[in-house]
Structure 1
Amino acid sequence: MSSPTAQRSRMLGGLLMWFAVLGGALSWAVHLFVAWGADELTCRSGRTSIEGLPLRVVIGAGVVLPALVTLAALVLAGRAWRQTRAAQRSRDDPRLERAGMMALIGLCANALFLSIIVAGGAAVLVLAPCQG
């Protein structure tokens, strides 16, 4: 029987692995809703600020914060991938292979989502708000 500390540690490791795999996708969704959504809804209403904050500040936060979360997920996936590769050399365990594959998927997906957030953020921040 496992101790409560070991069970918590295993659960935390599983949650961190899922964050490493899905963190970039969720951050990209937040980026879409905040950066692009704020621009569209605010401009459609005829305003240039949200609760007293200039629209460009809100959009900037909608780009920078999701990019930082995606970068954290990318670093975590890279660390998990290195650890599982090292552990696979010492023992043959299908769970390590599965974890390694999840980490590799997280690496690739987070790199893709980070580039999408940066490119989309550049477009939203370079173009003047409420243009067109």
Structure 2
Amino acid sequence: MGAHPGPRARLTGGLLLWYAVLGGALAWAVHLFGAWGVDELTCAGGSERVGAVSLRLVVALAVVLPALATVGALLAAALVWRRTSPPQPGEDRSLGRSRMLAVLGIWSNLLFLTIIVLGGAALLVLPPCQR
């Protein structure tokens, strides 16, 4: 083996792997503070508008954008998983770790996508600023 990692190792490491594993969790945090926080603060101020924009539109964006980021992280995790085969004896163990992290990313991103969609449904179905 040479001193430089092959294309499989480069693909499975670095930022792509971090995004594949943590992308859904970060997107959920953005959704939580964005959608729920804006809803609560706007309603506490006695308004149903955020500047010149409807509260419902702002909440919809705070649901759709994090959901899209989570789908991207899910696809990245699936790509890493597909590009890493189960490690053979004597093969570089970092590929095995990358594969395990990809599986973790797939399942966690599915969980976070479900949480974002269901939380967003609650925000978008229920009328804003219920008293």
TM-score tier, shorter chain, comes to 0.7 to 0.9
CA distance in 1, matches of 2:69, 2:58: 17
CA distance in 2, matches of 1:96, 1:57: 43
Q: 2:14 aligns to what?
A: 14
CA distance in 2, matches of 1:12, 1:89: 17
- State how 1:45-124 maps to structure 2 within 5 Å: 45-85=45-85, 88=87, 92-124=91-123
Superposition deviation, residue 91 in structure 1:
6.7
Residue 128 of structure 1 aligns to a residue in which SS? coil
The alignment's C-alpha RMSD in Å is 2.4
CA distance in 2, matches of 1:104, 1:11: 15
Q: 2:43 aligns to what?
A: 43
Superposition deviation, residue 93 in structure 1:
1.8
Counterpart AA for 2:126: L
Cα deviation digits, residues 87-116 of structure 1 (max 9, x gap): x36972211111001101000000000000
- Structure 2: runs of 5 or more not aligned: none
CA distance in 2, matches of 1:65, 1:90: 42
Superposition deviation, residue 13 in structure 1:
4.1
TM-score (norm 1): 0.87
CA distance in 1, matches of 2:74, 2:59: 23
CA distance in 2, matches of 1:14, 1:90: 24
CA distance in 2, matches of 1:11, 1:85: 13
Q: If each structure's helix is expressed as a fraction of its own residues, which one has the higher value?
A: 1
Contact between 2:27 and 2:69, CA under 8 Å: does it hold in 1?
Answer: yes
TM-score (norm 2): 0.88
- Structure 1: runs of 5 or more not aligned: none
CA distance in 2, matches of 1:12, 1:83: 8
Deviant stretches of 4+, over 6 Å: none
